[in-house]
Structure 1
Amino acid sequence: MMNMTKYRKDFIDYILFNYEFDDRVAVWILNFIKSHPTVSRNVVFRDEGTVDRKLRISDSGSASPTLLFEKGNTVTVDGEVIFHELNMNQEHTLFLHFNLSRHDARYQKMKSLETDMDSTLEQMGQEAVIRQIDEALDAKDHKRFIRLTEYLNQIK
């Protein structure tokens, strides 16, 4: 399996090299994300679903604010506040979304790769639970069978 953290860092380099940003703090934050081992490991490029922490970065050609950070019900465009949040909560997942003024196939591929990887991990988890259910049946462990079956139904 490819090293996703390195792939994410390379993608951020690509964005920095190919796009301009009205607010130079966006460049500073992207450089922080890619250079910090913990933060770069916990960043994902996906924008669907319910997320706790989302950073939107828009290039110069976009009509959106350059930086927009959402956490729960809080929204900010202040780069220093965003940097402080990223630095203080390095272990939390950060969903990074780019608003780009032109279609970018590499960005679409990155988001697709992240989604595919999540689906694969989810499938692997379900298969592991199914194996444990089979083991519980073989061992005639009714309580464990019921508990695992209920869990499998919840995660499906």
Structure 2
Amino acid sequence: MNETITVTAKKEFIKWFLSHYELQKREATWLLQYLMSDDRLLSKVHFTDSIRHLPKAVLMSTKCVKLTPFKYCKNKRVILDVEKAFHDIRLRPDEDVYISLHFRDRELSPEYAAVLEANPMEKQNVLQDTLLGLLAELVLDELIYQYKKEWIQRQIDHALDNKDQGKFFELTEELKSLKRANES
């Protein structure tokens, strides 16, 4: 996926798309044509596969797929009216707009792949999930260490109570080994 797509590339893609596919909502076609007509606005448009967690996103589907015809999401609010979405986009031209187009064989389309960008919020979520996973691992490792240490200490006490010198030395070596492993 490309990270910086030119306005010209986006225009060419929209022209290609509109000549090959028919959107379920005619007004959605008009919205794409409007975006294509304004370079400043088109520079804020990003095509993406996923609109999850994005502050301002549009989902459009063609007649050849059975998905939601049109959905505009802004700050977790969903609007199904193309006209309201158009007015919001027109009135706020400096805000990024992420568009996910659903059409037959989109995964195989080199034209779509050429303008496709990653969802920046999903990158953040993946990083956040990775960090949380590492933190959880650290906490679990510490809990396991504490449990093993306490279990060995109880066994050492039991060996002392039973005056089992062999078991005592074996367990103290095991405890030392556990502590060394935890320090590294």
TM-score (norm 1): 0.65
Query: What secondary structure is seen at the aligned counterpart in 2 of 1:87?
Result: helix
For the aligned residue pairs, the C-alpha RMSD in angstroms reads 2.0
1:106 counterpart letter in structure 2: E
Q: State the shift of 1:37 in Å.
A: 2.1
Question: What's the CA shift for 1:63?
Answer: 1.2
1:60 offset after TM fit, Å? 0.4
Higher Cα Rg, which structure:
2
| 1:25 pairs with one of 13, 27, 48 | 27
**Does structure 2 conserve the Cα–Cα contact (< 8 Å) formed by 1:58 and 1:65?**
yes
Question: Does residue 72 in structure 1 map to residue 68 in structure 2?
Answer: no
Alignment partner for residue 115 of structure 2, among 93, 103, 110? 110
Using the TM superposition, give the Cα deviation of residue 59 of structure 1 relative to its aligned residue in structure 2, in angstroms. Answer: 0.5
CA distance 1:3–1:65, shift in 2 (3 Å)? closer
Measure how far apart 1:50 and its partner are: 3.6
The gaps in structure 1 that reach 5 residues or longer are: 119-156
* 1:3 shift after superposition: 7.0
Q: Hey, what does 1:8 align to over in structure 2?
A: 10
Q: Does the CA-based 8 Å contact 1:65-1:77 persist in structure 2?
A: no
| Structure 2 CA distance for partners of 1:110 and 1:37, relative to 1, 3 Å | closer
**Structure-1 separation of matches of 2:76 and 2:53:** 12
2:89 to 86, 91, 101: 86
Partner of 1:136: none
Q: What is the aligned length?
A: 113
Q: For residue 40 of structure 1, what is the aligned residue in structure 2?
A: 42
Q: Which runs of 4+ in 1 moved over 3 A?
A: 47-50
Alpha-carbon displacement from aligned partner over 1:6-27 (angstroms, at most 9, x marks no partner): 1111111111011012211011
**What residue in structure 1 maps to residue 154 of structure 2?**
none
Match of 1:57 in 2: 60
Unmatched segments (≥5 aa) in structure 2: 121-184
